[in-house]
Each structure stands twice: as C-alpha cells, then as structure tokens.
A and B are shown apart, each in its own frame.
Chain A
C-alpha cells in the first residue's frame, strides 16, 4: 500500500513538474510604449473615435459620462490622447476637468486613474511626450502639468494635484 502511495506521489510530482515547465511563457522586458505625438481625433455621432495611424478605436461616451454625467449626445468634437512609456493611455478633451489614465486590456480600456486637473476645466488641452513623463498643457493659459499614471503635478508651482478615482 505504501509502495502504491509512493508511486502515486512520484507520478504526481512528475506531472506537476511537466505542467509547470510547459506553462513558462516568454517575457520581453523594458518595453517602451511611448507615443511620440498625441493623437487628436474627432468622434462620430455615436462617440466613436478611430486612430488609423496607431490602430486604436474606442468609444468616448464612458469618459464623457464620467466628466459630465450625460451621454444623450456627443458633446465634444475633439478627443486627445497619448500613450505613455508604461503603456497607459492618457485621454482628455477640451473643457474636461480630468485626464483619464486608461490601461489596455483584452478588447477594453480600463480606468487606472482619474487625474483631476482643474475645477473649471481646461479650455485647450494638449498632451506632450517628455522623456520621463507626459506633459499636459493648457494652450490658452500656458499652464502645464507633469503627468504620471498615479498623479498630476502642476509644473510652475510644483504643487501636486492628485485626483481620486
């Protein structure tokens, strides 16, 4: 009986080793996802924006709802986004108060962080790729923020403005 138990245990161990060996996947590290220049897109009547150059299509209505609590119609004619080094998408639009940091997943973009920028909204936002961060610029006022997946720091005053989800 003991011999049988030992045999079963040895076989189980061997099986476990084989299975774990097969499951090992290749990993490429230090991938830089950064997009050099932001994409400026115009949504269609359903709120869908299509970036042919970067092969990305999504609907902005969830963002619009988060911003205005209204999805009855598309309220903006311009959406701006840029992808950071880590692969997160920074999305915003004129007069939005927040920048949305979205993580790409299978067939979806999942909100990682909502970076609150201004109580009144940014009239003319622009996103620039910088060596260590994403820069948000308000073209009408000349203000700028240093964005990371976790927070937004106003560059002139060096004041950190962290938005909550």
Chain B
C-alpha cells in the first residue's frame, strides 16, 4: 500500500474552496430544516408522540427489515449469476434486471392494486373458478404493510444488483482462482472471496435502497400504511404544523443516520483498490440444464414481477384510455419531466465530481464533514427538502424584492422560489448523495499513484481530472448520471410542492389521478414514466457493459 495518503497533501488549489462552496450550498436546506428542530413545539408534538408516533416507528422498522432482506436476496443472487455464471439468456438479464429501476414504487403500487384488489381481474377470476358468490375471505389485501414491502423490494433491488454486479466483475480473478486451487468450490469461493470483496458495494446498494424505501411517500400513502413520510406530509400540509413535522423528519433522520453509519462502517478503514496493473476477462461457471433453468428463473422473476407484469398491465389499460388521456398537455408534461431530469443529472454529476475530487486531493476533517452533510439530502423526505429549499429562497426573493422596491420602485417578485431553479435545486439537494456515492466509489478504485504520475508529467489538478480520472471513471460517471436521472423522473413529493405554477410532470399527473382512484386513467402517465425511464436504463447499461474491463481493447473503467 506504500505510504498512507496524508491529511495535509499539497495545496488543493481551487478545488478545496470549490468543493466547500458546493457542500455549503447543497447542505443549506438540510441546515434550515434542522434549525427548525430547536423551535419549541409543545402541545402538538406531545400529542403526536402519544398517538401516532409508535405506529410510525413500527411500520418504518418493518419496512426497513422487510425491504432490506428482499433487495439483498434479489439483488445479490441475480448480480452474482449474471456476473460469474453463463446460462441461456444471461446477456439479456444483464440489462433486463435494471428495468424495474424505471418503475417508481407508487406506479407499481397503483398497478398491482388495480390488478389484485377485490374488484381487480385476479380476484374476480378466482371467484369465478371457485364459484364463490361474495368476496373470498382469505384473499390477501395488497394494500397492506406486507404488500408495500414486497412491491418496494421489487423496484428497489436494482440498487443492490447494479453495484454488486460491478463489484463482482471488477474483482481480481486471481483471488477467486487461488481460492479454487485451495479447494473452495464455487459456493465457498462466493462466500469466502466474492462476497467479502463485494461487501462495500453491496452495503452501498443496500443503504441506497433502504433510504429510498424510508423516503417512499406514494406507496405508503396509497396503501394507508402510516410511516414517517406520510406523517410528515400530513402534519406539514394537513395540520400546518411545520416545526412538529420537522421534528418527525429529525426522527426519521436517526434511522437514516444509522444506515449511513452502517454503510461507512462496512466499508471499514480499508480502501479497496484494483490491482492497477492487469485485468483479465473472467471465465464463468457454465451452468447446465437444471441449474441453468434455476438461474433463469432467479433472474426472470424480478424482471417479470418488477417490470413486465406491471408494464403489460399499464400498456393494456393505457391502450384503452389513451385516446382521451394522451394529448398536447400530456406531451408537455413528458418534456417537462425529461428536461428537469436531464439538467439535474448533469449538474449532479458535475457537482459530485467536484466534491469527490476536492476530497481526494485534500482529506481534511472539514472537507469530509462538508461532503457528508451535502450527501445528507438523500436521507430527508422530498417534502421536507422542498420546505428547506422554499424557506431560504422565499427569504432571498422577498429581501431582493423589498430592496428593489425601495431603491427603484420595481417589484422583482418570486424570481427563485416559483421557478425551475428551485425545483432543480431541490432535486440536487435530494439526489446529490446518489451521484456522490457512485463517483466516490469510482475514485476509490483508481490508485492515487495515477494522480501522482499525471502530476509529475506536468498536469495541473484540473488536467489530472480531465485527462486521467474522468476517462477512467466514465462508467462511474454514467452510472451516477443514470441513477439521478431515473430518480428525478420518479420523484413525487418534492415536485408536488416546489414545481412552478402550472408546471406538471408525469409523476404529479399520475399521483393526482391515482388519488382519485382513477387507476386505469392514471396508466398513460405511469406508463410514460416507465417508458422514459427505460431509455436511459438501456443506453447506460450498454455503455457500462462496453466500458467494462477486459471485455475489449477499449478503456478500462
């Protein structure tokens, strides 16, 4: 490992202050919301604590445990099969397993409710088959806590799958071969070598999936499962008790802090780096008939349940209603969604790279803390972030407006809070952590010796980033962009609150229809979200495959 990287590496140039500015801006809403914690709340808070709080805690814990087990089981098993084995359909599953990424939790909830509730086709068919005259007493209600857990696992597992697959692929083949020569079979090699080596990536994916699960609003709201997010939403908007809602958010943050600490701890003090010198194409385990069929099943089930079935159902419903729902307004909404998602994704990657590079150059306590605080947005429900953005923006708007009126008799109005700037900023605050995690992991895989070599060959800090690190990290940067893009497409509560007047996205549209129990009519917007979400999933999963080490003469990720 050579000499440890010191805390006080040579001067960071512009990168240190730049990273600090980014961190400060992004953490502003978090700090604003946190500041609300110290405002005395009294009566309302005591009332909440005595009545609904225990059920919020209980439901949130069940969701964490259930979704955690679910995404690990699906994500790790499918990632290992696809990365290390060869069986019919592997190449298709490689990218198909990412497809549920395009389905937001609330969309899958709306769709399965339409399919499985008592007036849905499945129940009616069962009744017909069994000849029952009334509702079947044993028929499970999908709109329940277990239902929410299963559906969330089906759409959040790609976080684990994607990071675990990359980790399995980038593992030193030598280590696995050594373990084989030492008498480990494929199963033991997996348990003793592959899994421990991939642990940081898997833990990272799990943390992301669980944060997403805890932040879910659409599903639990629709299923009537009371969690922190629905509580915050109701307290904030319904009761208008903003400080009490902020305190609920703070409690929710404790859960997330536990996750963040778990993730950091599992990475340990050790920084896994690739051997640097050579890559080798991985020979795979060739699976035969029975095992191959089982592998196909393991990979096909999440794709079918998390994507194909809801997509087909949405397609059939949309086909029946498209004539009335797809119109010029609909196309505008689609464009709006794509636009904000693209802008946010690009900015998020740029900002994450700035922060992560600042950290790589100069790992002071301040820098580390700044990056962590900037990454906290992901922990905070979209609705709370919305408020954290709106409060300071409104303050700036009003101050500037007042000053302009006093000086020039002009009113500038709401030039920040009522605009796309506020919305994109809210998205950035919320999703920067995703791109930051990915970009940091990408940096972590490149030995600092690369920077040193480029520096000694006359490159400035910026030159190192541009000419060496960015090309090496193309896969990571694209992944970061993909994750943010898809999340913005799906984002609901922050969009509902921060969007400019008359600015509709596909997500808000689907939400409004579903709230009115117009599940079939909501299908066009839902399907469009899914379809728009698929395009980058395919494009980027291909790019990731292309830029993979040892697959071609091309560059190495």
Co-assembled chains A and B: no
B residues near A, CB below 8 A?
A: none
